[in-house]
Chain A
């Protein structure tokens, strides 16, 4: 869709823009409604007293309204295309409903009610939103997420939610329906991307109020100008007064306001995040505290071996090689990371020695290892477990190493050997949570934007603090229970801060609901998705940072175009005022700094510019103003320069250029 060039996009939406000329629709945007009334008035003037000038102005006033509608229609059109592809997934399905006695009956998907249980088997489409209550299945959710890799859905736990419209690829599950037909996730998604449920956000309403008041001021200024002009001996045609009014009222931002809002939601959809309301997107821009789960967001999901600490008297190579041996058959990520580290440190990449048997980790021994053919045994595990195995306390030096590793937030794995000549502790493998690359920089950026990050983890405070320090977060919530999370959110909000978080489990639901921006993972439970005000279809918690950026970009776009729109008025005054009163006060010609050809062409050029600037700005409204994570002062300086000063200067150039063309029209020039 992004590849569609603008002109053809505009052309495609022209019919729907014309349909929006209905005053009942325009009434929602008072600024554009005033233009509509003005257009009707000038049409009447042009009909009763036709002239090239009158018709020219009339046509361009109508075009102003059409261009405004076009902006909205194009923004909506992009959502509609997405909605259509979603609708395809909602093709009429039948459901195999389970009765209480276990018998199946085939009913249409639309006949399901909340609480029904349905059976879905490989190859069938899930008939509605629900939770898996029985079985495990792999599910293709590409219809919703666009992600082709299947996901596992199973009864119980945090991966039980299935979405209507997705396809079961293997196995058989029983799903308990949690949403009535028409209110499913898919239905809501369609409504959202189509903009059908769009309500104006609080800031949009506030901005509209300012725009309406400006419109009223200009209305008063233009209406009272009429008697003033009469007094000056330069009575003004209603046509000219309407043209002046339309040029002065903030038509640019008035026309683009709803397109900006729709496009903001759309940008979220493009990163696969669905916002349940525009209000949530706006709140994202205001967020000042981010709650981030440690695992999967700040660190990779698994701990990795980062260093080997050799016990006194043991050669480094020996610990390296033996640690590798103990892990060779260990398929856990931790085990594999030990092998990787050993090879990095120069170990030979050889296979298991023949006759060796792998000893798996059990909850009883809390160790894993290897029994070699020569009678030696190798074990690695927690310090206490190894002590039990060897029957002796760890050597003091190793004990110190163990404590150092724990102190740094890591997990110490002690490697020991027992053979004919007794047992021996070889050293310690330092397993640590590895902070994802670039996280520290991102947190720095967030800090520059005034956003505090809080890392939430179930780890003990010491471990948590160490990882927090490494990642560069501002605060750490250790040993966090869902209640702690909720309390933290409440505390932040009490201090006037807006909080954003991600969550997927049912026990996250209260915190998700309390947060100002709660992004639920699509892989999570329906309770979590219900509680949040956004859903991330990719289930990528790091995306919270992008969500904040999109929220900010939306607000910046709104502010920048408002500034641009108002600043434009200066040039329009310089075009129109001298034109109006040149006859009465010839000296006013020195205000005609653009040296526009004739009074008629000056007024016409201002009107044309006013209409064309809407079209010219549609791409910015849709794409959003370029956003960089900078401090507020730097952002302001940049945007004031571009959109404030630009807004002052651009129309002088634009109106002059248009005047060169327009003045060639007989009857105007």
Chain B
């Protein structure tokens, strides 16, 4: 079987599994977040922490809960990371330095999972399991909660109430993420992903033996992908044979990344009572994903550059067992979903392929984006789209029965403004600092791309990197931590505030004069707006990075 055929079959398999899971998982999630009954352990938990599960929260209360919960999460995680030598199974590793601990804690709580450390050389098993893996679940759950709260904002009529964060958090973690993660763990274990509390001794090809770091990998691996986290147990992440041993495990990981963000579009459609609306959002996401995948696959398989041409494809930095197709499908999925796990070196992708990965993140992680964040990001873009398009049908704009007036557009404008501002200011400052030149793994255009990639990844909470760059200086640790923190919580605060503004409104009935938002036309407009907003914001940085690099290397000319 040739590469192209197997590559296409792999893509078809991923699409088929997602299509099969879309309805049952999406509807299950809708039931979970709209259900009125509490399981016995859930009740016990609410009593324990003193939460009234029947109480509804305003947007402000919901946001305060999210921020407080995440703030405590960061503090606890910093403590765990800095004091890991006092914890069991620490493998005699010392605590993390403070700046790295802050960066890492922020990174995992913001669902970014940017890693400025090498997992196997830095962290003990307890820090991995009780520190990082816990946040893999919780940060993912927070994203889903916020998306659900926004959908409730569209549904509410003049109440201003958007649900109860604590109930959402418990249910999303317990009834969605945990069960699916267990299935994922089992599948990965069958492929040989390691799950142990000891390092592994292996036979080398030459007959000698070697101790290779092991640990409770599988249990962390499933939620790493399912929660679009991406923080690897090992430094090599999903290119490491203990994390991602086979082409099948590779497909499992890709499916896990895309599963929840894709199915959430169904959840959305089911909750608002218009499945076609959910499909339209999914269609826009799929169009962006497919286009990016096609461009990147074309760039990598048609082997630009002398060395790559000689090898038949751009194989530098890729795992041969996954091949070009398996690597690019993974890199597109990981950058489109805010996961940030990698099974190939993005730094070594062709300029066009690396540029595609960069653009996926610059889109604001909406194709299909991170768990929850993809849906709310796309809905925010839908608000921008109806605001302009809605006027063109002769009415003041409305989406899903809610008017987009001054309060709504203010929040949406700030949302679309915040991440690009964080990314561009970060790049601007970093590139102006003389010390940055030392951190870059390359000089010139590619070095610039590394810096752009780092801040884009942090600001959009992706977590993948152009690995050539060294980001252990205090400047990078803290500036990137700030980018992650602001990129996550400024946007969440604005989304929840938007949900509140929508929830305070009385719904407007749909008439023939209402702009239909469940059509192919609207889906296309949505894609156009996402591309236009991204393009206009980032074109200069792209032109000085990947575009200049690609054109100089002789692509497209």
Residues in chain A within 8 A of chain B (CB atoms): 202-203, 205-207, 209-210, 212-213, 216-218, 220-232, 248, 282, 285-286, 288, 447-452, 495-497, 551-553, 555-556, 558-560, 562-563, 566-567, 569-570, 573, 577, 581, 584-585, 587-588, 590-591, 627, 631-633, 635-637, 639-640, 643-644
Contact = CB atoms under 8 A, between A and B. Distances in A.
B291 interface: no
Contacts, number: 213
Nearest to B422: A220
B540 A587 contact: no
B445 A450 contact: no
Contact of B409 (A209, A224, A248): A209
B540 A577 contact: yes
Contacts of B57: none
B511 A288 contact: yes
A383 B413 CA distance: 70
B390 interface: yes
Interface stretch (B15-23, B237-245, B294-302, B548-556): B548-556
Contacts of B420: 217, 220-221
22 contacts: A202-B396, A202-B406, A224-B424, A231-B448, A232-B448, A447-B512, A449-B513, A450-B514, A452-B511, A556-B393, A562-B391, A563-B388, A566-B536, A567-B532, A573-B539, A585-B445, A585-B551, A591-B551, A632-B516, A640-B521, A643-B392, A644-B528
B427 A203 contact: no
A636 B416 contact: no
B130 interface: no
Interface stretch (B178-186, B338-346, B502-510): B502-510
A213 B521 contact: no
A227 B405 contact: no
B555 to A, nearest CB: 9
Given A229-B544, A496-B506, A220 B421 contact: yes
Given A248-B536, A286-B396, A496-B508, A559 B391 contact: yes
Contacts of B427: 224, 228
B395 A285 contact: yes
Contacts of A449: 394, 512-513
Contacts of B543: 577, 581, 588, 591
Given A225-B541, A228-B541, A563-B392, 7 more contacts: A285-B395, A451-B511, A496-B509, A558-B391, A559-B388, A636-B521, A644-B528
A555 B398 CA distance: 13
A570 B532 CA distance: 8
Contacts of A581: 543-544, 548
Interface in B386-416: 387-397, 401, 404-406, 408-410, 412-414, 416
Given A230-B432, A449-B512, A587-B557, A573 B392 contact: no
A450 B398 CA distance: 14
A-B pairs with the 7 shortest C-beta distances? A450-B513, A559-B391, A552-B394, A450-B511, A224-B428, A213-B413, A587-B551
B93 interface: no
Contacts of B391: 203, 207, 555-556, 558-560, 562
A148 B451 CA distance: 75
A422 B414 CA distance: 90
Contacts of B24: none
B417 interface: yes
Given A221-B540, A559-B388, A570-B532, A637 B521 contact: yes
Among B540, B552, B556: residue with most chain A CB under 10 A? B540
A212 B512 CA distance: 32
A497 B513 CA distance: 12
B398 to A, nearest CB: 9
A559 B385 CA distance: 11
A288 B396 CA distance: 12
Interface string B515-550: 110010110010010001001111111011001100
Interface string B325-346: 0000000000000000000000
Nearest to A205: B406
Interface of B: 384, 387-397, 401, 404-406, 408-410, 412-414, 416-417, 420-421, 424-425, 427-429, 431-432, 445, 448, 506-509, 511-516, 519, 521-522, 525, 528, 532, 535-541, 543-544, 547-548, 551-552, 556-557
A285 B448 contact: no
A556 B392 CA distance: 4
Nearest to B420: A217
Nearest to A551: B394
Contacts of A637: 521
Nearest to B515: A632
Contacts of A644: 528
Contacts of A635: 392-394
B113 to A, nearest CB: 26
B547 A588 contact: yes
A546 to B, nearest CB: 14
A645 B445 CA distance: 33
A78 B556 CA distance: 53
A229 B543 CA distance: 11
A228 B423 CA distance: 13
B424 A282 contact: no
B551 A221 contact: no
B535 A206 contact: no
A641 to B, nearest CB: 10
A631 B392 contact: no
B368 to A, nearest CB: 24
A203 B407 CA distance: 11
B405 A587 contact: no
A451 to B, nearest CB: 6
A482 B389 CA distance: 38
Contact of A632 (B509, B512, B551): B512
Contacts of A448: 512
A126 B294 CA distance: 77
Contacts of A232: 445, 448, 544, 548
A559 B389 contact: yes
Contacts of B537: 217, 221
A5 B293 CA distance: 54
Nearest to B554: A587
Contact of A640 (B389, B421, B513, B540): B389
A588 B551 contact: yes
Contacts of B404: 206
B428 A223 contact: yes
B548 A588 contact: yes
B550 to A, nearest CB: 8
A556 B537 CA distance: 26
> Which among B391, B408, B428, B521 has the highest number of chain A CB atoms within 10 Å?
B391
Contacts of B417: 213, 216-217
Given A221-B424, A633-B521, A206 B405 contact: yes
A482 B507 CA distance: 27
Nearest to B451: A231
B513 A228 contact: no
A186 B240 CA distance: 82
Contacts of A588: 543, 547-548, 551
A291 B410 CA distance: 34
B551 A590 contact: yes
Nearest to A233: B444
Name the residue among A203, A248, A556 with the largest chain B CB count within 10 angstroms.
A203
A284 to B, nearest CB: 10
A447 B525 CA distance: 26
A591 B274 CA distance: 43
A569 B445 CA distance: 25
B552 A552 contact: no
A329 B152 CA distance: 71
A375 B279 CA distance: 84
A225 to B, nearest CB: 5
A285 B397 CA distance: 11
Q: Which of B392, B432, B544, B547 has the most CB of A within 10 A?
A: B392
Contact of B516 (A452, A566, A633): A633
A559 B392 contact: yes
Nearest to B430: A227
